Amino acid sequence: MRISKKNVSVKHYQYYLIFMLIACSGAFIWQFLLPEIGGRFTSWGNSRGWQREIALWNIGIISAILVALIKQNLEYMRILTLQSTVLCWVLGINHLFSLLQNFSIKYIIHIAGIFEVMLLGGIWGTILLFKFNRKK
């Protein structure tokens, strides 16, 4: 389904997916190129293999978001918004549990994961999904 220029909801999906593109690209960079950051600033310690594998999953998400944005396809954008929203909630909750189990202010990645991933990405995506996917 091609996007009509008059469709206001498209802009909202685009902004959200651009945010997710930036967030996933940033996560890819630190997980793939700087995995010691994860080891130092989370309660999980250093695990280069797992961090590299998660970084590669980010490449898959980044690729799909780019296709949706380039093709200007509303259905792709909706699906990726759903996928990203679910990921934001579950990853953010995982950061929250990890921080609560072993609280330390030095675990800045857990704190950022709660605010950036769960609260910003999760709530923003949820609002988009409910606001623009209602039957009229």
Contacts of 67 (CB under 8 A, 6+ apart): 73, 76
pLDDT at 55: 94
* pTM flag (> 0.85): yes
CA-to-CA dists, residue 130 to 14, 36, 134, angstroms: 16, 38, 6
Structure tokens at 26: 């940033």
Q: Which residues does residue 2 pair with via DSSP β-bridges, in sequence order?
A: 73
CB contact at 8 A, 95 and 113:
yes
How many Cβ atoms are within 10 Å of 77's Cβ, its own excluded?
A: 25
- Give, for all 136 residues of the chain, the pLDDT tens digit: 555 544 778 999 999 999 999 999 999 999 999 999 888 999 998 888 989 999 999 999 999 999 999 999 999 999 999 999 999 999 999 999 999 999 999 999 999 999 999 999 999 999 999 998 775 5
**Percent helix, percent strand, percent coil in the chain, to nearest 5:** 80, 0, 20
Residues 17-26: tens digit of each pLDDT: 999 999 999 9
Residues 83-96: tens digit of each pLDDT: 999 999 999 999 99
> Domain segments of the chain: what residues?
8-132
